[in-house]
Structure 1
């Protein structure tokens, strides 16, 4: 899409509100998205659809409806958990999708799914614009814009916060003046879905001096129940996790249960730097206990079932897949091609991995593959190999023609 169709400031927002019949905004119910509704409501020219996509972190529909209706907007909530789990989380699991092998990627997975749903809803409501709220210091800016561009949305799209900068307190004060007083200043910026909860900014601003309070975490808040060690097993069928301790579950329920039962041991906390578009680095803190255990279990089963050379090539392609996702190229042909490679080899990854959970760690105690390449009796294998190779050596010694052909052909006579 031509750059003139991009929304980058509140002046752009004013222009589209006066020249659009219907505008769709991505609406979380937070300060940024509520402030955008307030700005759009000032013009009262067009219809406003406030779209919320539920990706598994819980949605308060009453709050969303209350805020949206306050500004004359229509609240629309779409359950995107299944499509997110099947089309984004599952490929990421199989690809061991971790940024620089440090922590699981998250918003890189969720933003394309949100955009896919947003474009579909925009067409349903005949919206000519899609507005989001990412800013210059958030990688979501290029991921959302990149996805909307690749999805060929035929209208205006973008974020007014790209060029128009306001402090959180300025937005809170304006919303209070409009009649909404529930918003409060907070120390961080956060994003969450069924796969990962991530935090940045505020008291995490300076990588040289920061502290992560325990109350920031939800899944990995330690529980008294976790004082005792606990066994747990994860079963995979053709590359898909299907059961916990032999209890078969749908993927979104399986992830939710692992976040709870693994997280209570304090397992699955991450911290690391991430690059912005101009190569500046920002600090992020995450919790993803289900992702930790599932990716670890999947890697063990890959090692148990796949050829070593295939695995070496897969390791190289995994980071290419991650790069395409984090750079906002989710719908690229390159990522799709790697997906096909990953899906092909996933068909053989079937089996169960068992762990003993203890505070801060998950210890592997069993790797059982349906079609294993590993040895279970090394001594027996040694004897069998010795007999086979010894017999072959004797045949070669007393029947050299079996190796070299006849003596005449050997010397070219």
Structure 2
């Protein structure tokens, strides 16, 4: 406990076992008032029970905020303009949700006059870093309480015993419905960790996946969809204008039906350990494929290649918790500048876990010139003889090195 007296804390609260215990623990250990904040970022769960539980625990200020549109518009869409993939595979579904939660925690602390914020992330994971780096960036003076780094309740059994001792109601699901995995969901993805996944050799069970069909059991008929882009963001599906959150929800639905977006990854956590996780990101998988197709038609070669060089650094910044940082802001400004020309339509075919591009067009910003690219007679649009000098100039250093026997 810090030397400074804590009078009020804003807790990121789900109403589950961990945060229900944290709520009572904060009230006892810090002798403070607790404000609860529950974010709806598309996890697909009923959130009103969290209000009832918080009220039963004596909480007077309860925030339950629908942040789905802000999440996709201000966090997911900017990230996808960069084509971000961490370590070549992970679409950053958990990572990108944390800065929004940190932002809202800090805002609520300011609104309620709270001295501190608190979260339920453990001392082994990345989320503690993401929450706290984001919070410190937005409010350098904020105090942060991380119970998992302070208490000795380091097992589910101890948490349950604490809950029973203090009369904290715990919703015990029937064994048949209870997942053994640690799961995290939002509008971009759902993740699975722990249990048998802790052995990287074990194949995930077929009953683990929640959002996507087994690709082998997906429809035998492909489905075609058309996505319209404006400044790098999807604004319509099959000609129907949609908000960012609506776009992602619909792509999740369509993609899940066709078994798209499953990933099984061993990743390098920022805190130093390797971790195995499984992810379902159906809408995000479609978005990434479509966005790259749109850029292939509209972006200049060197701008596109430079974006690809910067992307791994950008993805690592998000994974490691540096969304609110000068370097991410700098990269975002550069990325967004390129997106002014990423306008048009992409047609995709979805089939048994695969996303295939079947067409792309841009009436105003396409750099594809048929008169130059054609294999037929080009009527002088491109002088093939120019290639001789181009090749000889680029071969000069190779010829010099070759004469020295260095190649």
Coarse TM-score class (shorter-chain normalised): 0.7 to 0.9
CA deviations on 1:350-396 (whole Å, 9 max, x unpaired) are 1111122221212221111232222557785742354764999xxxx
1:292 corresponds in structure 2 to 285
Counterpart in the other structure of 2:227: 234
In structure 2, what is the equivalent of residue 58 of structure 1? 44
Q: Shift of the alpha carbon at 1:137?
A: 1.9
Alignment partner of 1:135 out of 117, 122, 125 = 122
Q: Corresponding residue for 1:86?
A: 73
Instruction: For 1:86-165, list aligned pairs within 5 A.
Output: 86-165=73-152
Say yes or no: does 1:303 pair with 2:292: no
Counterpart pick for 2:207 among 197, 201, 215:
215
Compare CA radii of gyration and give the structure with the larger one: 1
Is there any run of 5+ residues in structure 2 with no aligned partner, and where?
387-407
Name the CA shift for 1:391/1:227 in 2 (closer, same or farther; >3 Å): closer
Classify 1:174/1:385 alpha carbon distance in 2 versus 1 (closer, same or farther; 3 Å).
farther
Aligned to 2:394: none
Match of 1:68 in 2: 54
Paired position in structure 2 for 1:384: 378
Match of 2:25 among 29, 34, 39: 39
| CA–CA separation in structure 2 for the residues paired with 1:91 and 1:390 | 41
User: Gapped runs of 5+ residues in structure 1?
Assistant: 1-11, 393-413
- CA change 1:274–1:48 in 2 (3 A) is same
Contact 1:198-1:284 at 8 Å conserved across structures? yes
Distance 1:183 1:390 in 2: 73
2:158, 2:362 → 1: CA distance?
57
* Change beyond 3 A, Cα 1:138–1:310: same
C-alpha change, 1:72 and 1:362, in structure 2 (3 Å) is same
Following superposition, the deviation at residue 309 of structure 1 comes to: 1.1
CA separation of 1:109 and 1:49: change in aligned 2, threshold 3 A? same
Q: Which residue of 1 aligns with 2:170?
A: 181
Q: Equivalences for 1:266-277 in 2 at 5 Å?
A: 266-277=259-270
Contact 2:20 2:168 in 1 (8 A): no
| Whole-Å separation in 2 of the counterparts to 1:313 and 1:387 | 28
Q: Provide the residue aligned with 1:30 in structure 2.
A: 16
Structure 2 CA distance, aligned partners of 1:31 and 1:58?
18
Distance in 2 between residues matched to 1:44 and 1:307, nearest whole Å: 57
Q: Within 1, Cα distance between the matches of 2:381 and 2:103?
A: 60
**1:410 is matched with which residue?**
none
Q: Single out whichever of 212-221 and 263-272 deviates more from structure 2.
A: 212-221
3-state SS of the aligned residue for 1:199? strand
Q: How many residues align structurally?
A: 377
> After superposition, what is the alpha-carbon deviation per residue over 1:11-52, rounded to whole angstroms, capped at 9, x for unaligned?
x38x77xx3221111101222111101212436943211111
Cα deviation digits, residues 232-275 of structure 1 (max 9, x gap) = 11111121101111111111001001100111111001111222
SS of residue paired to 2:367: coil
